[in-house]
Structure 1
Amino acid sequence: MDEKDWVAIKVLFEEKNISRASERLYISQPALTYRLKNLEKELGTELFYKIKGGIEFTSEGVYLADYAEEMIKKLQQTKDYILNMKEEVRGTLRLGVSSNFAQYKLPKLLKQFSTEYPNVQFSVNTGWSTSIMNLLNASSVQLGILRGNYDWYGAKTMLHEERLCLISKREVDMKKLPELPFIHYQTDSSLKNLINGWWHDRFTEPPLVTMETDRQETCKEMVKNDLGIAILPEICLQPSDNLFTYGLSYKNGTPVLRSTWLMYNKDELQLTTVKTFINFLNQNPNL
């Protein structure tokens, strides 16, 4: 078995479908089938069997899929450490980044870092912070940039805090919010709990939810068209939105803040690329 075999098994195990796996691997379906048959012949056992709509792995196949994933990780770690032995900052930086940070902050940050360190490449996974936390726990990324509070056994540094804001197309009386049409959006549990905690601190009545959108940007567009009010993190707001913005505070006057954290395993500091990127973030807090 070689690296291509490991990757093929890993992707097939994730997809449970030869056609979809071949698309992800950028090879033809017959070529993938041929490779898998040769693997079964080499190992002397069946790795999977066909079911309606796809395939199912045998117990031997499941064991091999675990082995393949572990070998891919070890190979990547070996490549990282070999590159790290040179003085030059070179290699691939694997990042897991929350969607909001990735949309509003990450492009500019990576552009500036690339200018200073042109021999560093990036492998970036974006998503809700809960998904990034899973990637960190699985060691699939070297660094995680998450929003909200999560338990983590490794190193954890706060990058910055921002306020939650109520937004509206027109001026509103903050005491009458339960009477106004409210627009919700899908988000991770951390932000949802923060919003709900503030609401219950200020009101005894639930919000008058009239819309549920899949994204924060969609929600903001609805507000810009005067279809309701919403609560968004400050990172999502731009002066060009032309909206009335009200920073949220609890009854005791404490502002409602959302934290952005950098998390990583301390062992990753042995890699020059990781250490350099962390120093870059600490030296450029306003990026």
Structure 2
Amino acid sequence: MDEKDWEAMQVLYEEKNISRASERLYISQPALTYRLKNLEKEVGTKLFFKTKKGIELTAEGIYLSQYAEEMITKLQNTKDYLQNMQQEIRGTIRLGVSSNFAQYKLPPLLKEFLTTHPNVQFSVNTGWSADVMGLLNSSEVHLGILRGDYNWTGSKTLLQTEQLFLISKKEVDLEKVPELPFINYKTDSSLKDIISSWWHNRYIEPPMITMETDRQETCKEMVKNDLGIAILPEICLRPSDELYKYPLFYENGEPVTRDTWLMYNQDFLKLSTVRTFIDFLNDHPSF
């Protein structure tokens, strides 16, 4: 078995479909099938079988795919440490980043870092913070940038704290907010909990939700067109939005905030590229 066999088994296990797996591997279906058949001959057992929905792996195939995942991780770690042995800062930093941070904050940070470290490459996975936690726990990324509070046994550094805002196209009376059309959006559970906690602290009535959107940016556009009010974190707001923005406070006067954290496993500090990028982030606390 070689690295391409490992990748084929790992992707096949995830996709359960030869067509989708070949697309992810950037090879033709016949080429992938040929490689898998040769692999079956090499190990001397059947690894998968066809079903109406695609394919299923045998017990041997599942075991081999798990072995392949371990070998890919070990190979990547070996490459990381070999590159780290060189004096020059070079290599690939694997990041898992909350979608909002990736959209609004990460691009200029990476651009500035690469001006002084041009031989560093980044592999970036974005998604909800819960997804980033999964990448951290499986060591698929060196560093995770998450929003909200999550349990983590490794190193954890607070990058920034931001306030939440109620936004509206027109001026509103905060005492009458439950009477106004409210626009909701899909987000991770940590932000939902913060918003719900503030609402129940301030109002008896539930919000009058009149619209559900898939993204915060879509929600903001609806508010800009005077279709309702919404609650968004500060990271999403710009002066050019031309909206009324009301910072949220609990009844005791405490601001409603959300934290952004940098998380990583201490073992990755052995990599000079990772250490250098962590130092860079710590030198840019306000972004």
Q: Please state how far the C-alpha of 1:284 moved relative to its aligned partner.
A: 1.4
TM-score, normalization by structure 1 = 1.00
1:215 corresponds to: 215
Within 5 Å, give how 1:191-210 maps onto structure 2: 191-210=191-210
Q: Mark the runs of 5 or more structure 2 residues left unpaired by the alignment.
A: none
Per-residue CA shift, 1:228-273, capped at 9, x if unaligned?
A: 0000000000000000000000000000010000000011100001
How far apart in 1 are the matches of 2:116 and 2:166?
A: 38
How far apart in 1 are the matches of 2:236 and 2:115?
A: 26
Matched, 1:49 2:49: yes
How far apart in 2 are the matches of 1:286 and 1:195?
A: 24
For 2:67, the aligned partner's letter is: Y
For 1:60, the aligned partner's letter is: E
How far apart in 1 are the matches of 2:137 and 2:42?
A: 33
Over 4 Å off, 4+ runs:
none
- Match of 2:50, SS state, is strand
- Match of 2:163, SS state, is strand
2:280 corresponds to: 280
Matched, 1:140 2:140: yes
Q: Please state how far the C-alpha of 1:58 moved relative to its aligned partner.
A: 0.3
Matched, 1:238 2:238: yes
1:30 corresponds to: 30
Per-residue CA shift, 1:9-63, capped at 9, x if unaligned?
A: 1111110000110011110000000000000000000000000020000000000
2:227 corresponds to: 227
The sequence identity of aligned pairs, in percent, is: 73
For 2:102, the aligned partner's letter is: A
Per-residue CA shift, 1:202-241, capped at 9, x if unaligned?
A: 0011000000100000000000000000000000000000
1:178 corresponds to: 178
Within 5 Å, give how 1:115-130 maps onto structure 2: 115-130=115-130
Q: Please state how far the C-alpha of 1:286 moved relative to its aligned partner.
A: 2.2
How far apart in 2 are the matches of 1:75 and 1:26?
A: 21
Q: Mark the runs of 5 or more structure 1 residues left unpaired by the alignment.
A: none
How far apart in 1 are the matches of 2:270 and 2:241?
A: 44
How far apart in 2 are the matches of 1:198 and 1:87?
A: 51
TM-score, normalization by structure 2 = 1.00
How far apart in 1 are the matches of 2:52 and 2:271?
A: 46
Per-residue CA shift, 1:144-169, capped at 9, x if unaligned?
A: 00000000000000000000000000
How far apart in 1 are the matches of 2:74 and 2:30?
A: 29
How far apart in 2 are the matches of 1:261 and 1:145?
A: 6
